A and B are shown apart, each in its own frame.
Chain A
Amino acid sequence: MKDLLRNALKLADVDYCEIRFEESQLLSISYQGRTLDTITRDTPYGGNVRALHKGGWGFACFNKLDDLEDAVRSAAKQAKLAGGRLGAESKLAPAPVIEDEYVPEYTLDPRGVSLSEKIRILDSYLDFILGYDKAITAAQIVYNEKISTIYFANSEGTYIKQEKLDIGSNMAATARRGMTTVSKRIGRGSSIGFDCMLDAYDDLREACRLAVELLDAPTVKAGVYTVVCDPALAGLFVHEAFGHLSEADNAYKDPNLAKAMTLGRVVGRDILTIYDTGEYPKNRGYLKYDDEGVPTRRTYLVKDGVLVGRLHSRETAGIMGEEITGSARALDYRFPPLVRMRNTCIAPGEATFEDMIKDIKLGIYAVGSGGGQTNGEMFNFMAGHGYMIRDGRLAELVKDVKLMGNVFTTLKNIDMIGNDVQARDGAGGCGKGGQMPLPTSGLCPSIRIQNVIVGGAK
């Protein structure tokens, strides 16, 4: 493969060219209701060529390896067309030339676990959920496993063969009474082992208990509250509210946005430190090399409340004159890489949970993550459920807890950070530019935020 890719690259008479080829094996198992719903094996096979010339990009995607040379010519031709229109200088930040073949150190390689054993484990979770209470009318279990071999070569001499594992799973209990339906779910995920799928019973028991109890819980009353987010929701918050804004492909050609995101700007209190990293192999955002062949590195975005960095592709780093971070990621061979997050983390603080709630007269403890979205300035994210906080104590359970805010205001309103870091993994992933779901994760502690807008009943 190395010679094949390197020989094909010689056909590209452009400033820069790269080839990525992928062979993957996917296993998807899902349960809906009371039975196994789908079982699928998928074998994506294909590649792409990306070429850069005078600042313009060309991209060609193909399934047949025999079409590789045609794809190189097509991408080069497109890049010349684009570069001819732009007439700019191709700016890529320098990256080390690497030759490597990388296989993760697996804790439990899923290829060593038989399909029947995987199904036995999932069956047992299904039985557990359905047997918990008669109010539980359905279970949903999704298990996705993807093992990829990705070959990467570029015109600068880099050649990498990288094996990647991505396991993501959600398991949910649905309770229903009349017109009221409530689901509660747990998530699992890993980049190095099937062991993440073992021993989920304690978490499932809690999900089932909550699903049943939430049938009688009121919808949270809309208003502005002090909110304590548990680690899972804090992970979603930092991803949606700040992570996307730190992706440099927004700011690198927008002087006004770059100004709003000037390094050195104070964006939070000195207790706040945020970083994004390809470390942490037990989580889904783990990455040795990104899809431009750049080694990933821990990238501090906010340190002690001050904006200190952002996430880059080679092009955004080159244009902004900053260092590469290894953040160029593509969903699969059908797409070009975009600037994306990996594991986005808030560094732990010193507060205990009791410290965080004891002086709240009326607030919400928001638990679990149910998805979110941002437009750069504002964000919206959904908690799994919540508890009212009244006079410094946890009070009644509430449902449909959805929070929103302005990114810059909210970051400054984080006034306490817990010492209870946990990871947030599950099926699904991040979406951007039509590429979804990209595996990401976050390791965060609980955080307390003042003046959060919460939607709900009147």
Chain B
Amino acid sequence: MGRLFENLPEGAQAELYRRVSRSWGVRFQNSTFEGTSESRLDTKTVRVIQSGKLSMASGSRPGSEADLLRTALELSKYGTQVDYDFPGVAEYGEIELASPEVPAMDFAEMIDICEDLISSVLKVDPDIRASASVGAEELEVSLDNSNGFSGKYSKTVLRAGLGVRYVQGDDFLRFGESRASWTNDLDYEGIKEEVIRLFKWAKQTVDMTAGTYPVIFAPEEVGHLTRPFIASLNGKAVTRGISPLEEKIGQELLDPRVTLIDDGTVPREVSSVPFDREGVPTQRNVLIDKGVPKTILTDLETARKLGTESTGNGSGRGPAPHRVILLPGDQTLEQLIAGIDLGVIVFGTMGAWTGNPLGGNVSGTISLGLKIVNGEIAGRVKNCMFSINSFKHFKDHLIGFSRETKSTRGATYPYVALDEVVITSG
């Protein structure tokens, strides 16, 4: 690596990020085996800071590191003006992220798992068209820079999913369940049970009148609700002057039951890493503590602009969370449901990711929602939208969080129950 950086122009700094991966998997579509796949990829990204300007070049051509460095140096005269240095020699903690059990998985084992997942739902109703997939990845990441930082880590990831499509006339039901783990310990029974439970609940459709209701959001959907907080506490939004929380740090903003954390340090978690994309060790960041915004996520650039230290959230394209955790409450999901006379529990949404998160408004189509009547599930609601404002609802209309949590898509969330949710139906 030293050689790559040997002939840097005076005053220039450079960094090489390399990701070598092997991924393989099987997939079933429409209840039948479709095929297998295997990828072997080796990608490199070079960043340079020259005369205070940052630029980047990446590629996958073998042996292209020197070309990438040359390209990045050429680009740097147009680059972003920055006022920081790449980190030097640094200690970072080792985190257990790679398991020998994942590379040992072969196509035959994956096919057997998928066949079992598919057959479990077909037993419930043969008209279901099920999809299933199992995919594995082993990867090695290394980061070196001309200031002396040198780090690497290995990681393994195993993912599995089971999806259901059920068409009766013009009536469609479509949803799925997926899990990921660093090792071969995925809860396939849990996947099957959740899909079958939801399918049985959702088979019958019931009417829902427009109005405002208490609504429980399943952990998979809670990320849409917390997006305004995470976007507003991103150092880039703050330094750009567009964060509505810029002047709210340290002030009471939300219900005191709201504590939101970002943590990239947890061993054996697929979204953990020992250091971020810039070589800064990851850490546990309390974003919101008992309703009070505490921490702005930063990378080297935004930390310098804000006069703080990087929180270890550099992604190469601005600060990004590693694993968002919303601390759970003390009621069970069953108790939350039992406490609602008339409302909805939402397991799937569409389009809730669209819109400007900084305004706090979150709305979307309820693609899988179940009506709650007198504390019990009554059937599926269709043609409904929900609308909330996260800043307002997590302050004034929070019913509570469930004791149960679920880790999904790089986050760990409980079920979230909110009151006064606008439901529009047609």
Contact = CB atoms under 8 A, between A and B. Distances in A.
Real binding pair = yes
B178 to A, nearest CB: 12
A222 B40 CA distance: 49
Given A115-B78, A379-B350, A453-B425, A181 B56 contact: no
A456 B212 CA distance: 12
A61 B41 contact: yes
Contacts of B365: 373, 378-380, 404
A285 interface: no
B32 A86 contact: yes
Given A41-B71, A182-B356, A253 B37 contact: no
B79 A39 contact: yes
Contacts of A435: none
B189 interface: no
B51 interface: no
B210 interface: yes
B357 to A, nearest CB: 9
A454 B171 CA distance: 21
Given A43-B61, A260-B170, A371-B353, A178 B363 contact: no
Contacts of A378: 172, 350, 365, 367, 382-383
Residue from A85, A174, A219, A451 with most neighbouring chain B CB atoms (10 Å): A85
Interface string B347-375: 01011011110111101110100000000
B385 A455 contact: yes
Contacts of A34: 240
Interface stretch (A74-82, A195-203, A276-284, A304-312): A74-82
Contacts of B30: 252-254
A182 B240 CA distance: 14
Contact of A61 (B39, B108, B165, B383): B39
Residue from B40, B60, B351, B387 with most neighbouring chain A CB atoms (10 Å): B351
A402 B40 CA distance: 41
B364 A380 contact: yes
A458 B213 CA distance: 11
Interface in A200-224: 219, 222-224
Interface string B262-305: 00000000000000000000000000000000000000000000
B185 interface: no
Interface in A357-393: 370-382
Contacts of A115: 75, 78
Contact of B36 (A81, A380, A381): A81
B55 A39 contact: yes
Closest 6 pairs between A and B when the two form their complex, measured CB to CB: A380-B351, A57-B35, A377-B172, A253-B30, A33-B240, A43-B59
Interface of A: 32-46, 56-64, 66-67, 74, 78-79, 81-82, 85-86, 115-116, 119, 137-138, 174, 176, 178-183, 219, 222-224, 249-250, 252-254, 256-257, 260, 334, 336, 370-382, 400, 402, 404-406, 408, 451-458
28 contacts: A32-B318, A33-B239, A39-B55, A39-B56, A41-B56, A46-B41, A56-B33, A59-B36, A60-B37, A60-B38, A63-B61, A137-B240, A178-B244, A219-B361, A222-B424, A224-B424, A249-B29, A253-B32, A254-B30, A254-B167, A334-B41, A373-B350, A375-B174, A377-B170, A377-B174, A382-B355, A402-B364, A451-B426
Given A39-B80, A253-B29, A254-B30, 10 more contacts: A36-B81, A41-B58, A82-B35, A176-B241, A181-B242, A222-B385, A249-B29, A260-B167, A373-B350, A452-B426
Interface of B: 29-43, 54-62, 64, 67-68, 71-72, 75, 78-81, 107-108, 111, 127, 129, 165, 167-172, 174, 210, 212, 236, 239-242, 244, 317-318, 348, 350-351, 353-356, 358-361, 363-365, 367, 382-387, 391, 422, 424-426
